[in-house]
Amino acid sequence: MQVLGVKMRDFPSCFGENGVQVADSSSSSTSRAAQNLVTCVYQCRLRGRSCLITVTWSKNLMGQGLGIGIDDSSNQCLCKVDIKPWLFSKRRGSKSLEAYSCKIDIYWDLSAAKFGPGPEPLEGFYVAVVVDRKMVLIMGDLRKEAFKKTNANPVNSNAVCIAKREHIFGKKVFSTKAQFCDNGQIHDLVIECDTISAEDPCLVIRIDSKPVMQVKRLQWKFRGNLPILIDGLAVEVCWDVHNWLFGASLGSAVFMFRTCLSAEKLWASQPLSNPNPFPWSFSQGFSDSKTQCHGFSLILYAWKNE
């Protein structure tokens, strides 16, 4: 993906083991327990250089985990921190690193964090990346505590979330929350699909309980793409539910929500019958500089619970 001059693969090389391609991931035989991940990629600048910060939340039988990696514009890993899954320890801490001849400090406090069913905390936490006492990235609702702990200058960070990848689980209904533009509204996103009991399965996507897309005759249209509007933004929705209908039991369906194409380009995009619903994948990107927000893509791997 080419974003503001930054060329990236599926996700930065620091977390290459999690950076599977869209087309390949749907056929992965990896156990579902190990797939409970949420990965966010942020665009930022370190001493005038464009960089990517990757934050990965994980969850398994051992507890929650957190990984942070920083890549440069050539996808070279500058530094990374892996906080292994914990039960009673490592919920608060910091680590200092060096890159571009500057000091990078990573702070986290999840001692009071509240979690939902997924690996990403909901509230009561902060994660901060500070470079030369400047707050480059801050996550969580405990912002005051983060600035006090880090002694960073009280200047808003310039990091922008440009990509998110999430694994979601369900039987017929798969839900998550999504923010399609920086500082935009957080929406409830629901995917409904019954591929087991229904003779003629149908795919329905809802935003804030309102249906925005419906695909009938899914056995013939198990891959495709359609345009929708969210918050006035043109969003292309691509889906691949082949594994749900014809694949192995461990296969996931894959959905991508891609923003910041111009409406003209989006509505003139490839037809529903296109055999390859992911021709652009992450290797091409959001190069339309006239759009009003940074390019953003959301990839959802939907796993059916037995």
35-66: pLDDT as tens digits: 689 999 999 888 778 889 999 999 888 888 99
2 bridge partner residues: 7
pLDDT of residue 169 exceeding 50: yes
Which residues have C-beta within 8 Å of that of residue 183, sequence separation ≥ 6? Answer: none
pLDDT at 194: 87
pLDDT at 207: 94
Could you state, in order of their start, the residue ranges of all structural domains in the chain?
2-161, 171-304
Position 30 confidence tier, pLDDT thresholds 50, 70, 90: very low
Instruction: Residue 293: name the closest of 225, 232, 207 by CA.
Output: 232
Give the dihedral sign, CA 69/73/75/76: negative
Give 172's DSSP letter.
S
Establish how many alpha carbons lie within 13 A of residue 94's alpha carbon, considering only the half-sphere containing its beta carbon. 13
pTM listed for this prediction:
0.77
Q: Give CA–CA dist 238/243, Å, rounded.
A: 15
113-146, pLDDT tens digit by residue?
999 888 999 999 999 999 888 899 999 999 999 9
Instruction: Residue 233: name the closest of 253, 255, 207, 214 by CA.
Output: 207
Polymer length of the chain: 306
